[in-house]
Structure 1
Amino acid sequence: MRGIMIVDKRTLRNLDFLFILFTFLLLAASLFILSTASISVDKANPLHYVKVQTYWIISGIFIAVVLAAIDYQKWQRFRWWIYGLNLALLFAVILFGHSAKGATRWIPITSSFSIQPSEFAKIFIIITFADFLAHRKGKLDNFRDFILPFLFVLVPMLLIFKQPDLGTTLVFAAIFIGMMFVAGANPWKFGGLLLGGVCIIGIALWLHFATNLPGWLHWAQGLPLPMQDYQLKRLTIFVNPAADKSGDGFHILQSLWAIGSGELWGKGYRMGTQGQLNFLPEHHTDFIFSVVGEEFGFVGTITLLFLFLIFILRSISIALKARDPFGMLIATGVISMFTFHILVNVGMTSGIMPVTGIPLPLISYGGSAMWSNMASVGLLLSVNLRRQRLMF
């Protein structure tokens, strides 16, 4: 066991205490914000979600400590076992998962406890893809070199997309892009490929929704896509949410009203109307940032974003100081995941991005998400602790 968990005084000197401090500040912010955001969700037990989130945080800290104590390089031995476990869990969702709100994403463990494998899939893919790319660093110059890395990530992505869980699918894409660039993918060729892909998706969406195309394009009108119309509408309604005020645009409009009404200082702790009166949907999970804006105003949202900024900057510092490509790529995957989560969640609650159901990391209520986030923190700390080789 000592060969796996080596943490002595020399190793602990590498610990980034500022990163740890801001992690704990974000966790404390989660409990504080939930104490107002969830009070109206279960009026019979107003602090229920705060208590449960506390359990998730405490157990998550334990997970982070264990992963930090384990030398991250040891995971390379088990890369294919981890990749196989990842696929097995995602297949298990299809076979044994239960549905909620139109999606099958959870595997029931007990009558009152379920896990969401797609959350842990992000950690598994970061570890295994980091090893996959570490052996190809400097060998990603041509288009054909991108094929195997893409297929490596595509398989679990498709299983998650089938659930359907578009938000996590997009997180996988962000992880893939970030890690590929750091692994040395030719920026012009890889960037051009990504730009081309975005253009193709944009054209496909335009053709799907188009109604009055000229004769020579009439054949492409209503182009079929691998998504239901209601799913596509949810992705595009942010452009004009007022077009469906009582339907898919309702979430966005309520969020905008909540954030806008907070003005500079906010309405005050537990004084919001959109959240406390339950006009704002999912205000303890996906739309928790809207509660911050309503009750604590611009000052509150900027303070929270400042905490995230320092957290990400310290994470980047850890990546830059990693002792090997594998450690740097693990840190890059975690940074890509956290950054994408933050940008998309804040963007969707602010009405400038589609509503994809991506929670605010370390803040939103949720067990699997909190465990996944804290596991990511543990991996970063493991890389940080071992940024210099021990001398014996």
Structure 2
Amino acid sequence: MDLIKNLENAFAGKEVEKVPAASIVSVALVEGMEKTGAGFPESHTNAEKMLQLGESAHKYAGVESINLPFDLAIEAEALGCTVDLRDANEHIPEITESPFFDDIESVDLCDDFLSNGRIPVVAEAVALGREKYPDIPMVAGQIGPFTLLGQIVGIEYLMRCLATHPEEVKTAVEICADAVIEVVKAYNTLDIQGDCMYEPSIAADLLPPEMFDDFVTAPLERIAKAADFNMVLHVCGDTTPILNHTLDLGYNGFSFEDCVNVKEANKIKYNLNSNTQLVGNVATDSLFHGKMDSIREETFRALDNGIDILGSSCCVPPGTPLKAMECMVKARDEYYEKGMDSKREQNELNLSWKPDYSEIIPPVANIHAMTSVRKRSRI
């Protein structure tokens, strides 16, 4: 199967050989680090190590993409924030200081933004990946503007400013959108097939849905228009209340968690006549704990209900076993080998989802609380 063509067809809403099993969100697993010798923090700062870790999910689990980078602090660091890369494989970098903290009016984009911090490292790693793997989809990523603003001024302060200084928030979000667009334009010069923009802070439990249009619609649309590649918007949590927004912003894909009903998302997509493809949503909890039966059933359910690109519901926790990711890919293969895709095709035609198995609500995982790595014996 031509993996690049298959993924591009999926993004375009065209017929695919199989729904791509190309997790669009970050996949950086401890087992991959052990196999490649590319652990944290080196794989955050060294382009060759970054690629070695990024390619491991493809090499050892069959995931149909290579995803870079692995953390959401890169843009904030380039804006002048201090980032602790940390030294444990299961921990991701965190922002410890910011020149804009509690001062939304001071937010500004520095002239040397693109050359600061680790943005050049990501670009180099992507270029190395394209040279080494000309036939494998390369997927990049960056933070979204509203979440970036929350990182650099403080999320609690930003939430207060929504009520006390709404115009200043709008201005600052646009400045952060300018920063994201600079990254997108840099990625336009690279040969990538996808990009994931992470916007967890626009979830309905943080940004009230009635404020969506006022604060984030315009900057998010502006970013989508700047990309010459397939761009996916990812939002954590239950995004059901904002599906009418997120599926109508001009993105090629929308990635969401397992607590969102793919059936309902697909109905909304059809009602909007949206060209945004549905991405996800196998539960991170099932993957992390290696629940192979659950992974298989969730994969079948997502495919039945019309998921367009199969993958994890959120960033894959580092402690996830490679076998769990491989299970997801093999379940996708089994779905087609057994002719189960005929049910998917019928569902696409009439939007009447009546699967044979019970509609079990999968568990919702808080991956940010998963700080420990489960010990597994090597075979």
Q: TM-score, normalised by structure 2?
A: 0.30
Q: TM-score, normalised by structure 1?
A: 0.29
* Larger fraction in strand: 2
* Larger fraction in helix: 1
Which of the pair has the greater relative contact order for Cα pairs under 8 Å at 6+ separation?
1
The structure with more radius of gyration: 1
